[in-house]
Amino acid sequence: MIIKMNDLDKAKKVIATTTKQQRLRNVSEETGIPLATIHSYSAHPDNMVNVVWDRVYKIGQILSPDDSGEKTEFDKAKAVITNPDLTTPEIHRLSALPYTTIDAYRKDIKRLNKAAWKRIHQLAQIYDETMKTNNLTL
């Protein structure tokens, strides 16, 4: 049985195995994330759950680049937010995200670009669990 790691697990593994200064610098250079920020993630990897999704994704791609052609968690989250068949209360019930947050994403989808990994992951889980099991296309 193959267990697929999510983006946060991949990023944490990269950070955990990249402890020396030069290796952290390599992560910084590969991702474009400032070295001081990478140091912060290294010191507190559990706090990465609140890091902007894009950064978590970039770090995780060092471990295993995604060339499968599958949707990223961000793509899935965007599909859930833009799906007119899902109401804000339904998304709230399934994700526990605040109504105001969901409405803000729906009014300005660009706000999703700066969402924490945790929020993107919650929305992506809706896609995985609800959309695929009901054979809905997004």
Q: Is the pLDDT of residue 131 over 80?
A: no
Q: Which residue has the tokens 């989250």?
A: 77
Q: What's the confidence (pLDDT) of residue 61?
A: 87
Q: Is the pLDDT of residue 92 over 80?
A: yes
Provide CB contacts within 8 A for 68, sequence distance 6+.
none
Q: Is the pLDDT of residue 88 over 90?
A: yes
- Higher pLDDT: 1 or 32? It is 32
- In the chain, the percentage of residues whose pLDDT exceeds 90 is 51
Q: What's the confidence (pLDDT) of residue 118?
A: 94
Q: Is the pLDDT of residue 4 over 90?
A: no
Q: Is the pLDDT of residue 110 over 70?
A: yes
